[in-house]
Amino acid sequence: MTVGMAGYVVNDSLIKLAAEDLPLFEAIFIRGAFITTWLLIAATIRGELRGATKDLDRSLGLRVLMEAIGTALYLSALTRLPLAGLTAVLQIVPLIVTFVAARLLREAVSWHRVASVAVGFIGVLLIIRPTSADFNPWFLVGFLVVGAIVVREVATTSISTKIPSLVVSLTTAIVITAMGFVGAFIEGWDQPTSREVGLLVGASAFLAMGYLGSVITIRVGDMSFSAPFRYTILVFAIILQIVVFGDVPDTPTFAGAGIVVAAGLYAVGRAAPERSPWTSAS
């Protein structure tokens, strides 16, 4: 999950840079064309495409739909907000995922896991400070993205085990690329420079890493255990905001990031599940 989060946030940084001069959906399409190519080559080499279409199910369709909706909303907001700020809003996902895992998936969620997610969310609130005069309404779009992500992750747990994770990622990439093509047709097309193409090639490679890291984790482990590790994306985002965009976060942001890291480390140290009052015998 940590590797997946690193892949996602580096991709976000690169596409944010590319979309400064390119139309957003054009950038999504170009990036998608490259990531689809990488994943298609990998799936072919591994022989995972043979007979893959006969195992496709509704859960995969729902996952792909939520990915498309979430991507469009997220990238629209990303072009108008600081990377670390928007990333912080999305950190409500671990809290909701942990609750869903306990109530709907009947995972045994210990108090330690609940505590680590809750404490991590307190760190997030220090970062976004929703009552601040600097609060941007575009942050509200982040909460719509949260809903799409949670539904996507629940759908991922229900995908047939006969479908390889590489095929799940490839299917997602194809749909996102198609969405970018349609959006670019409506939004318009500009001639990309070699720099912009290079940024999008890099974004596609890191997004592939993000897809595979998160899909594999969700399919092989408890959603509630991996939830706190989603907070690591915030740390990566703060680092990249400083290094790539030259924007140094303020003291509360650093304090919140420290709390997030501590919550994740606490979750590792308390990995053994216990029965949670969030679950029931029925």
What pLDDT score does 274 carry?
Answer: 47
- Name the one residue in this structure whose structure tokens are 């984790």: 217
DSSP state of 159: S
What is the pTM (predicted TM-score) of this model?
A: 0.76
Enumerate residue ranges in the chain where pLDDT < 70: 51-55, 101-109, 128, 130-135, 264, 267-282
Spatial neighbors of 280 by CB under 8 A, at least 6 apart, are none
Contact 278, 103 (CB under 8 A): yes
> What's the confidence (pLDDT) of residue 28?
93
From the number of C-beta atoms within 10 Å of its C-beta (0-12, 13-18, 19+), residue 208 rates as buried
**Locus of tokens 């950038």:** 27
